[in-house]
Amino acid sequence: MTHQHFLDLSDAGANAVAAMIGDAIDRKAARKGWGKGQADADAPLAGKVLALVFEKNSTRTRVSFDIAMRQLGGSVLILDSASSQLGRGETIADTARVLSKMVDAIMLRTDDHAKIEEMARHATVPVINGLTDRSHPCQIVADLLTVIEHGKALPGLEVAWFGDGNNVLHSILEAASLMKFNVRVATPSGYEPDSEFVEMARAGGAEVTLIQDASVAARGADVLVTDTWISMGQADADEKRRAMEPLQVNASLIAEAKPDALFLHCLPAHVGEEVSEEVFEGPQSVVFDEAENRIHAQKSVLLWSFGLLA
Residues with catalytic annotation?
109, 136, 139, 227, 266, 294
Q: How many CA atoms lie within 13 A of 139 on its CB side?
A: 30
83 binds, among ligand NVA, ligand CP, none (CB under 5 to 8 A by kind): none
Least distance (Å) from ligand NVA to the CB of residue 266? 5
Estimate the share of the chain in helix, then strand, then coil, as percent rounded to the nearest 5. 45, 15, 40
Q: Quick one: 187 or 228, whose CB is closer to ligand NVA?
A: 228
Least distance (Å) from ligand CP to the CB of residue 60? 4
Q: Is 146 in the site for ligand NVA (CB under 6 A)?
A: no
Residue nearest to ligand CP (CB): 61
Which amino acid is present at 292?
E
State whether residue 219 is helix, strand or coil: coil
Buried b (16+ CB within 10 A) or exposed e, 246-274: ebbbbeebbebbbeebbbbbbbebeeebb
State whether residue 306 is helix, strand or coil: coil
CA–CA gap between residue 283 and residue 231 (Å, rounded): 27
Chain contacts with ligand CP (rule: CB under 6 A): 58-61, 131, 139, 266-267
Least distance (Å) from ligand NVA to the CB of residue 228? 5
Strand partners, 275: 249, 271
User: Is the four-CA dihedral 207, 211, 216, 222 of positive or negative sign?
Assistant: positive
Q: Is 171 in the site for ligand NVA (CB under 6 A)?
A: no
Q: Quick one: 131 or 225, whose CB is closer to ligand NVA?
A: 131
59 binds, among ligand NVA, ligand CP, none (CB under 5 to 8 A by kind): ligand CP
Q: Segment near ligand NVA (CB under 6 A), from 20-28, 226-234, 251-259, 302-310?
A: 226-234
C-alpha torsion 264→223→284→253, nearest 10:
100
105-134: contacts with ligand NVA (CB under 6 A): 131
Q: How many CA atoms lie within 13 A of 3 on its CB side?
A: 18
DSSP type of residue 88: G
* Contact present, 60 and 52 (Cβ < 8 Å): no
Burial of 116 (0-12, 13-18, 19+ CB in 10 A): buried
Q: Segment near ligand NVA (CB under 6 A), from 8-16, 64-72, 228-236, 255-263?
A: 228-236
Least distance (Å) from ligand CP to the CB of residue 97? 26
Q: Quick one: 159 or 291, whose CB is closer to ligand CP?
A: 291
Strand partners, 76: 50
227 binds, among ligand NVA, ligand CP, none (CB under 5 to 8 A by kind): ligand NVA
- E-assigned strands of 65-163? 75-80, 105-109, 127-129, 158-162
241-280: contacts with ligand NVA (CB under 6 A): 266
Least distance (Å) from ligand NVA to the CB of residue 277? 20
Least distance (Å) from ligand CP to the CB of residue 51? 16
Strand partners, 224: 160, 263
State whether residue 195 is helix, strand or coil: helix
Among 66, 227, 274, 292, binds ligand NVA (CB under 6 A): 227
Q: Is 168 in the site for ligand NVA (CB under 6 A)?
A: yes
Q: Segment near ligand NVA (CB under 6 A), from 40-48, 161-169, 202-210, 253-261?
A: 161-169
Q: Quick one: 166 or 276, whose CB is closer to ligand NVA?
A: 166
What residues make contact with ligand NVA under the rule CB under 6 A?
131, 166-168, 227-228, 231-232, 266
